[in-house]
Amino acid sequence: MGKEITTAHIMVTSLCDRDCKYCCNKQYDLNSIPYITEDELSRMKHIYLTGGEPFTYSNPNAIARKLKTRYANIEQVIVYSNAFELWEYLANGGQTSSIDGVTISIKSNRDISSFACCTAHRRLMNLPKNRLYVFPGYEEVECPAWIEKIPRVWQEEFVAAPNCIFRRL
């Protein structure tokens, strides 16, 4: 028997205003992604909310709160976002009380200035697990010590990690 899968990447929206060259959403039929089941959620410890752009086209804090309330086994909920969209969410009063962290991607010059604004925001600073994905050309972005900086490259073919499932909500 293989190792038990306790991590789920959940697409909460397919909507996004960007047109990134190697966007993984262009690499498969979004309608073919299976919906996450009650049984699967009852076994997950780590949830990663993704999109599209979750902070623009959904309410990740409300989703995280509902998941954690219904499934006591869920230990953390992390949200993937671009810096500009995250900053807009925070600047407009978006809440983070049920979110355990964000994984921010720097993919444009607009993201650089937005990321600087995000790092000064108390709600983001108080989250226990934050990461910054830095793509080629943006390696010099300054990152505070409370955010783990991770170099990334565009994937021409999206492959989910072997220890997780990829579903939609």
Give the pLDDT confidence of 7-18 residue by residue, as tens digits. Answer: 999 999 876 676
Are the beta carbons of 117 and 91 closer than 8 angstroms? yes
Comparing 119 with 23, the larger pLDDT belongs to 119
Nearest CA to 46 out of 80, 96, 6, 104 is that of 6
- What is the model's pLDDT at position 26? 56
Token code pair at residue 55: 């902070």
In the structure, what pLDDT confidence band is assigned to residue 19 with cuts at 50, 70 and 90?
low
Are the beta carbons of 144 and 115 closer than 8 angstroms? no
In the structure, what pLDDT confidence band is assigned to residue 51 with cuts at 50, 70 and 90?
confident
- What is the model's pLDDT at position 101? 97
Average pLDDT over residues 25-40: 82
Phi, psi of 113 (to 5 degrees): -70, -35
State the distance between the two ends of the chain, measured CA to CA, in whole angstroms: 28
In the structure, what pLDDT confidence band is assigned to residue 1 with cuts at 50, 70 and 90?
very low
Nearest CA to 99 out of 125, 62, 149 is that of 62
E-strand ranges in the chain read 7-11, 46-50, 76-82, 101-106, 131-134, 148-151, 164-168
> Whole-prediction pTM value?
0.90
Are the beta carbons of 12 and 50 closer than 8 angstroms? yes
Rounded CA-CA distance 129/159 in Å is: 23
In the structure, what pLDDT confidence band is assigned to residue 161 with cuts at 50, 70 and 90?
confident
Rounded CA-CA distance 17/150 in Å is: 24
Average pLDDT over residues 135-159: 84
Model confidence over 68-92: pLDDT tens digits?
Answer: 999 999 999 999 998 999 999 999 9
Are the beta carbons of 47 and 74 closer than 8 angstroms? yes
**Is pLDDT of 37 > 90?**
yes
